[in-house]
Amino acid sequence: MRLLTHNMLSSNIKGVVNGFPLRIEAEKVVEKTVEMNGEFLKKMFEKIDWKAFVDASRAMGPEEADCSMLDSDEFLNRFHHALLELHLEEGALVCPETGRRFPVNKGIPNMLLHEDEDTDGEDSKDGLTDIWKVGVFSVTG
Amino acid sequence: MASRPEVVAPPEIFYDDAEARKYTSSSRIVQIQATLSERALELLALPDDDVPKLLLDIGCGSGLSGETLSENGHHWIGLDISASMLNVALEREVEGDLLLGDMGQGLGLRPGVIDGAISISAVQWLCNADKSSHNPRLRLKAFFTSLYKCLANGARAVFQVYPENIDQRELILNAAMHAGFAGGIVVDFPHSSKRRKEFLVLKCGQRSVNASMLSRSKNEDGESCSDEDSEDEENQTVCISDRHRPRKKPKKNNKSGKGKEWLLRKKEQMRKRGNVVPPDTKYTGRKRKDRF
């Protein structure tokens, strides 16, 4: 699992308000070389939660990513390396609120929830979603 | 073997090691999956600016559909409930990141980060209740609501589905609409029962959907043609032509001519004809009490 994915992933357990970021417990980290694409990195930079990203890259190894101008090649290289080339192979992700461990095996995090952790969409009260609901309900019904 | 894998066993059990390997080694399935994912990617209508996107592949299985995404230069995150399928994906060294998860439990991704989502032949699994705690309606709701949250504004999600019947199609579509998605169903090859493929195209954010894009579905000749089915699903409107019709006709007053005198006269008539008629009393022709 790359840090790109880690930065998008949050805990989905019932009752957890802020399940992001998941803490990384790294046991084995591998590197795979990927072709660099500056445009993609710049796009992703807007979406990345920087603090979580820096914490995650620290947890993965000694290498630290620091914030500087996006235009410098040096920065882009390091950003690219940390975001797309570092893979968490074995270890775990830990939910920041409940401390629940999601084990990572062969690079695949196991995000399956137990039955009592399952939200089943009950707490999906979104202001925006409700507005849509009202608008669409009368039409489809 | 039953024709629909959904009725055989839950996905994490059906796609065991043997089945996963069989699935991926069948060149026919590989080819179908590639065609479907390419069509899904086409329907996703990503902006044409050569910048790789971060996509989501829901029910990625062994990564057959993800391969198409990689070929087009996109980064993707794949989610599947079958560990065996994901193991095969690892062996095939797919480029995307894989997650073991249940889409019916919600996706658990940060809001607004994903540029688009595809799903090939997966969503119909949600319509089954494989455990006592499963409720298809709630699982569909959890899935679509969490997907709506994690998609960026204006992003699309394309699902290739095999609904078992009309009810199932409606169940899926309704769940998507309730989550806030706009969109409809595109049917490719509507006249062929074998080649017929349904794509659920959903758009997140804006209500307006590019209707011209949606209503174009492939015909036998490979040409695009507008299809009745998809049109109907999109333009769901409520007919209000009867709005000004009066709800009820005003009741006629039938009381005239049926008073006590009229009744007595009728009874007299009957007596003259020799019929058995109850005697006239103080109760004759009297109105019953309201509470009767």
Task: Give the best residue of B97, B126, B174 to mutate against chain A (max A CB count within 10 A).
Answer: B97
Whether residue B274 lies inside any domain: the answer is no
Distance between CA atoms of A138 and B33, rounded to whole angstroms? 36
- Asked whether A26 and A60 are in contact (CB, 8 A), the reply is yes
> How far apart are the two ends of chain A, measured CA to CA in Å?
42
Provide the shortest C-alpha distance from residue B58 to chain A (in Å): 14
**Do residues B155 and B204 lie in contact, with contact meaning Cβ atoms separated by under 8 Å?**
yes
* Environment class of B172 (CB within 10 Å of its CB; exposed 0-12, middle 13-18, buried 19+): buried
Q: What are the tens digits of pLDDT across the range A19-53?
A: 888 888 888 888 888 888 888 888 888 888 888 88
Exposed, middle or buried: residue B162 (CB in 10 Å: 0-12, 13-18, 19+)?
A: middle
Map out the domains of chain A as residue ranges: 3-140
CA B175 to chain CA centroid, nearest Å: 6
Q: Does B108 touch chain A (CB under 8 A)?
A: yes
- Closest C-alpha among A95, A3, A12 to residue A41: A3
Cα–Cα distance, B20 to B40 (Å, whole number): 22
Nearest alpha carbon to residue A49 among B146, B110, B75, B56 = B110
The count of structural domains within chain B is 1
Domain range enclosing B10: 5-234
Chain A contacts in chain B segment 109-138 (CB below 8 A): 109-110, 112-114, 131, 133, 135, 138
Percent of chain B with pLDDT over 70: 81
Cβ burial A112-121 (10 Å sphere, 16+ → b, else e) = bbeeebbbbb
Length of chain B: 292
| Any domain includes B244 | no
Looking at beta carbons, which residues of chain A come within 8 Å of B75? Answer: 4, 40, 84
What is the amino acid identity at position B40?
Answer: A
CATH number, domain containing residue B193? 3.40.50.150
CA dihedral B123, B129, B130, B133 (to 10 degrees): 120
Chain B residues whose CB is inside 8 A of the A84 CB are 75
In a domain, B269, yes or no: no
- Measured between CB atoms, does A44 come within 8 Å of chain B? yes
Distance between CA atoms of residues A86 and A117, nearest Å: 30
Nearest chain A Cα distance for residue B105, angstroms: 6
Does B180 sit within 8 Å of A128, measured CB to CB?
A: yes
d(CA B106, CA A12): 7
pTM of the prediction?
Answer: 0.70
Distance from CA of A133 to the nearest CA of B (A): 5
B142 close to A (CB below 8 A): yes
Helix (H, G, I), strand (E, B) or coil at B89: helix
Chain B residues in contact with A19 (beta carbon < 8 A): 108
Phi first, then psi: what are they for B57, rounded to 5°?
-115, 110
Each residue's pLDDT tens digit, A52-91: 888 888 877 655 555 545 556 777 777 888 888 888 888 8
Q: How confident is the model at residue A135 (pLDDT cuts 50, 70, 90)?
A: very low
Chain segment B42-66, per-residue pLDDT in tens: 888 888 777 888 899 998 888 888 8
Residue B7 DSSP one-character state:
G
Give the C-alpha separation, A27 to B224, whole Å: 53
Question: Which chain B residues have a beta carbon less than 8 Å from that of A107?
Answer: 90, 97-98
Kindly indicate the confidence band of residue B278, based on its pLDDT and cuts at 50, 70 and 90. Answer: very high
CA distance B259 to A99: 84
User: Does A47 sit within 8 Å of B148, measured CB to CB?
Assistant: no
CB B175, CB B169: distance < 8 Å: no
Residue of A4, A5, A33, A93 to mutate, testing the B interface (most B Cβ within 10 Å of its Cβ):
A5
Which value does ipTM take for this structure? 0.74
Do the Cβ atoms of A12 and B135 come within 8 Å? no
Fold for the domain defined by A3-140: N-terminal domain of TfIIb (2.20.25)
Yes or no: say if A57 and A65 are a contact pair by the CB < 8 Å rule. Answer: yes
CA–CA distance, A102 with B50 (Å, rounded to integer): 35
Other C-beta atoms closer than 10 Å to the C-beta of B225 total 12
Q: Give the mean model confidence (pLDDT) for residues B146-153.
A: 88
A121/B138 CB distance under 8 A: yes
Look up residue B103 and give its two tokens: 């889409």
- In angstroms, rounded to a whole number, what is the distance separating the alpha carbons of residues B66 and A65? 29
Contacts of B97 in chain A (CB under 8 A): 1-2, 4-5, 107
Q: Is the pLDDT of residue B140 over 80?
A: yes
Residues A52 and A23: their CA atoms lie apart, in Å, by 9
Residue B240 lies in a domain: no
For residue B136, the distance in angstroms to the closest alpha carbon of chain A comes to 10
User: Residue holding tokens 């009297």?
Assistant: B286
Backbone dihedral angles phi then psi of residue B71, each to the nearest 5 degrees: -60, -30
**Pick among B109, B113, B144 to test the A interface (most A CBs inside 10 A):** B113
Q: A30 - beta bridge partners?
A: A87
